[in-house]
Amino acid sequence: MDVTFTCDNEAPGIAAGPEIVSHPLLHLHYISCSLIAADTAQTTLESLVHQSRARNLSIGVTGSLLFAQNQFSQILEGPESAVSLVMASILQDHRHTDCVVIEECAIETRRFQGWSMAYSGASAFVAQSVTRALAGARSGSKRDIRRLLRLMLEFAAQPEHPAVASPRPM
């Protein structure tokens, strides 16, 4: 993890800066490169999402996962210890590499309430959004990171979308 941004007040519901320690919830957003072979991607991702939803539900983590071309973008939110546990597992996962944390901060309320993991499969538009957010993180610009967050929030707000499973109660 070579780049980390703190959240700012321009994204609704996210508190400013990591110096806020009185809030019990952590927001962590990362992007990584997939190492999953194209011919096994669909079944591998279905299994990954199924297992992750069950684990996240059991430890109180909510969030969203996007997979586009060869990149993952995932937001995790929940108690700091639970998010740290999930992130430690993610960093050891052989299905991806080059994990870059683009946002990490304390939050007052969950943005993905009711989702143990909102998930979206492949999309060219989403792939471009993820690529721009990663480039923005590396250059010091938060604009495209905020755009990607809004995209992920819009996606999670529409559970009737065919690519989305029903929300999981938290």
Residues 90 and 80: their CA atoms lie apart, in Å, by 15
Give the pLDDT score at 11: 44
Say whether pLDDT at 13 is over 50: no
Among the listed ranges 7-11, 30-34, 141-145, 153-157, which one has the minimum average pLDDT value? 7-11
Give the pLDDT score at 121: 65
Question: Could you tell me how many residues make up the chain?
Answer: 170
What one-character-per-residue DSSP string does 112-143 give? STT-S-EEE---HHHHHHHHHHHHHHHHT--H
| pLDDT tens column, 110-150 | 988 878 888 866 666 777 888 888 888 888 888 888 888 88
Q: Look up the pTM and report it.
A: 0.70
Counting beta carbons within 10 angstroms of the beta carbon of residue 69, is it exposed (0 to 12), middle (13 to 18) or buried (19 or more)? middle
Give the pLDDT score at 1: 37
User: Domain coordinates of the chain in residue numbers?
Assistant: 25-156
Counting beta carbons within 10 angstroms of the beta carbon of residue 9, is it exposed (0 to 12), middle (13 to 18) or buried (19 or more)? exposed
- Which residue type, as a one-letter code, is found at position 145? I
Domain 25-156, what architecture? 2-Layer Sandwich (3.30)
| pLDDT tens column, 25-80 | 999 999 999 999 988 988 998 899 899 999 999 999 999 998 887 889 999 999 99
